[in-house]
């Protein structure tokens, strides 16, 4: 006899968990089946180097989750299940080869002074943007959190026209289609101010010259100053542990180490799933698949035009992760103040970022990859033994399949052989900006793009955002036109996760929007 639930989830990433909690809170009987050993997808934390050192496997920044509509509704329940944040007053900075640095803090006066040290004109521009942000932000956040349905978009446009008039609405539309470089070069004069903000585009597959990416440097800069940043106390997995606790407290079921081999459906309607251990799990109302789009046809056996388009879904270049246990924080050559920042970007210019991106897209190991250096223990000492620290380093970008080395030094064509020398390239870059850091390494864990994917199949080729967010694959087109709400041609079968609008990040947007649609509230 098969087990039966109202909703069955394939995968227990944070979108699945958020969706399951909302369904459970509305009386649905839910079950989640996760192939990995722990729930959370890319959001997990553990001692990946030495005992006592807790590292975030992939995702670290929880700001989107902390400020999400889902958190607003369920924050109290999650706090009761152990959710705890570590607020950050100095969210991000960039350091440059000439010894300059610039960073954004929650103290607007301090941030403006740092920018003024580079350009008084840019400091004035920053002050104007800061003043306008409370008025502009609600429109942008409303769009980024809106349902991608024609009626919802029409209502959004009506509200924008009333608030901003035709000219202001067209200005907003133009801004949303601009590349990071276009907006940054039109707005700021100093190349290092541009680079400091432009680095954020690289987090979401928006190299400087990709249309549609301007909004991310703007939002990260303004929101970083207005709200700071939020990390998870003890690790990013605090949100996962709290979600799991809340779901199980409401009678939900979560099984890990369980592979789904097939989605059961007939006559155009999904009815459940088949597990690798032979169990059939019945879903009375919904099967919800938190999988990369190209994986869905393999589960349904589908051969329709919809399945063909899913298989062609485009992924961003990969990422390599370095997890370091340190005897002390890096000694940044540009100044000790950098020790207080959660993120330090090593991305010296827009041109360098553009070159890195194109090299990775061409299958080459970049000659100077962008480094995102996370210093979580500067705000959360609980992640390491007393006096010790962890370093979380993303190497962006990295090709999924290696065709060569842009620098001509690494001959390896597989990640098994290329991971160590490519990681050393990153260490050498870090050493230039923070001499002596390598001598402080007590232990390290190198995670190649291929390992990220083998650990979590949704991270195709090490793509941590589960699919490019370029305009042709975003908004109404994420993952496909007509299916931005996670719907599929099979009744009762739905997609969720970062591949579904509103996309990557830890805002739980796709999962929560789907659950609201299913419950009608």
pLDDT value for 1 = 54
Side-chain-side CA neighbours of 67 within 13 Å: the count stands at 18
Residue 103, pLDDT score: 98
Read off the pLDDT of residues 371-425 as tens digits, 9 standing for 90 and up: 999 999 999 999 999 999 999 999 999 999 999 999 999 999 999 999 999 999 9
**pLDDT for the residue numbered 205:** 92
**CATH says 3-43+237-313+466-519 is which class?**
alpha beta
pTM of the model: 0.96
pLDDT in tens, the chain (521 residues): 579 999 999 999 999 999 999 999 999 999 999 999 999 999 999 999 999 999 999 999 999 999 999 999 999 999 999 999 999 999 999 999 999 999 999 999 999 999 999 999 999 999 999 999 999 989 898 888 888 887 778 878 888 898 899 998 899 999 999 999 999 999 999 999 999 999 999 998 999 999 999 999 999 999 999 999 999 999 999 999 999 999 999 999 999 999 999 999 999 999 999 999 999 999 999 999 999 999 999 999 987 999 999 999 999 999 999 999 999 999 999 999 999 999 999 999 999 999 999 999 999 999 999 999 999 999 999 999 999 999 999 999 999 999 999 999 999 999 999 999 999 999 999 999 999 999 999 999 999 999 999 999 999 999 999 999 999 999 999 999 999 999 999 999 999 999 999 999 999 999 999 999 999 99
Distances in Å between the Cα of 258 and the Cα atoms of 32, 38, 109, 261, 275 are 9, 10, 52, 10, 7
pLDDT of residue 146: 85
φ and ψ at 58, to 5 degrees?
Answer: -135, -70
CA 516 to chain centre: 22
How many C-beta neighbours within 10 Å does residue 222 have?
Answer: 21
List, as one string, the DSSP characters of 190-243.
Answer: -HHHHHHHHGGGGGGT--TT-TT-THHHHHHHHHHHHH-EEEETT-TTHHHHHH
Residues 484-515: pLDDT tens digits?
Answer: 999 999 999 999 999 999 999 999 999 999 99
Which pair of structure tokens corresponds to residue 233?
């106390």
Cβ–Cβ under 8 Å, residues 282 and 271: yes
Cα 286 to Cα 5, 305, 358, 373, distances in angstroms: 9, 22, 41, 41
CA distance 521 to 517: 7
Helices (H) and strands (E) in the chain, counts: 16, 20
Model pLDDT, residue 35:
97
Tell me the β-bridge partners of 314: none
pLDDT value for 151: 79
pLDDT of residue 75: 98
Structural tokens at position 219: 């939002």
Domain residue extents for the chain:
3-43+237-313+466-519, 45-62+85-91+228-232+317-464, 112-222
The whole-angstrom separation of Cα 327 and Cα 410 is 30
- Backbone φ, ψ for residue 339 (5° rounding): -65, -20
**Pair of tokens at residue 15:** 């979108």
């Amino acid at each position: 006899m098969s087990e039966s639930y109202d909703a069955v989830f394939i995968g227990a990433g944070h979108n699945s968990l958020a969706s399951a909690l909302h369904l459970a809170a509305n009386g649905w009987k839910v079950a989640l089946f996760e192939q990995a050993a722990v729930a959370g997808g890319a959001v997990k934390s553990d001692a990946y180097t030495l005992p006592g050192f807790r590292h975030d496997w992939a995702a670290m920044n929880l700001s989107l989750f902390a400020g999400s509509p889902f958190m607003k509704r369920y924050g109290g329940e999650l706090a009761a299940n152990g959710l705890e944040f570590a607020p950050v007053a100095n969210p991000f900075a960039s350091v440059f080869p000439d010894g300059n640095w610039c960073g954004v803090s929650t103290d607007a006066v301090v941030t403006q002074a740092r920018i003024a040290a580079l350009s008084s004109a840019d400091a004035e521009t920053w002050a104007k943007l800061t003043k306008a942000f409370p008025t502009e932000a609600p429109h942008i956040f409303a769009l980024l959190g809106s349902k991608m349905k024609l009626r919802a978009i029409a209502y959004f446009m009506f509200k924008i026209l009333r608030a901003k008039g035709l000219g202001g609405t067209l200005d907003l539309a133009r801004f949303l289609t601009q590349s990071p470089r276009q907006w940054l070069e039109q707005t700021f004069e100093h190349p290092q101010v541009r680079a400091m903000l432009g680095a954020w585009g690289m987090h979401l597959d928006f190299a400087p010259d990709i249309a549609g990416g301007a909004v991310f440097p703007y939002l990260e800069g303004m929101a970083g100053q207005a709200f700071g940043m939020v990390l998870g106390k003890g690790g990013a997995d605090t949100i996962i542990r709290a979600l799991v606790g809340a779901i199980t407290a409401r009678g939900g079921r979560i099984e890990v180490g369980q592979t789904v081999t097939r989605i059961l459906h007939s006559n155009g309607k999904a009815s459940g799933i088949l597990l690798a251990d032979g169990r059939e799990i019945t879903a009375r109302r919904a099967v919800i698949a938190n999988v990369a789009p190209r994986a869905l046809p393999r589960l349904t056996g589908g051969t329709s035009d919809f399945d063909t388009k899913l298989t062609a879904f485009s992924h961003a270049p990969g990422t390599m992760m370095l997890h370091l246990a340190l005897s002390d924080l890096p000694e940044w050559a540009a100044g000790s103040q950098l020790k207080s920042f959660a993120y330090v970007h090593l991305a010296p210019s827009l041109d360098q970022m553009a070159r890195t991106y194109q090299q990775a897209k061409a299958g080459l190991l970049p000659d100077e990859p962008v480094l995102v250096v996370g210093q979580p223990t500067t705000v959360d000492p609980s992640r390491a033994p007393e006096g010790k620290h962890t370093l979380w380093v993303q190497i962006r970008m990295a090709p999924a399949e290696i065709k060569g080395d842009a620098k001509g030094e690494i001959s390896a064509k597989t990640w098994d052989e290329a991971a160590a020398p490519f990681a050393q390239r990153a260490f050498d870059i870090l050493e230039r900006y923070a001499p002596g850091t390598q001598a402080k390494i007590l232990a390290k864990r190198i995670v190649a793009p291929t390992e990220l994917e083998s650990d979590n199949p949704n991270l195709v080729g090490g793509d941590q955002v589960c699919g490019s967010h370029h305009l042709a694959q975003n908004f109404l087109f994420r993952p496909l036109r007509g299916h931005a709400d996670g719907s599929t041609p099979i009744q009762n079968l739905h997609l969720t996760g970062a591949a579904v609008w509103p996309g990557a990040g830890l805002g739980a947007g796709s999962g929560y929007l789907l659950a609201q649609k299913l419950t009608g509230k």
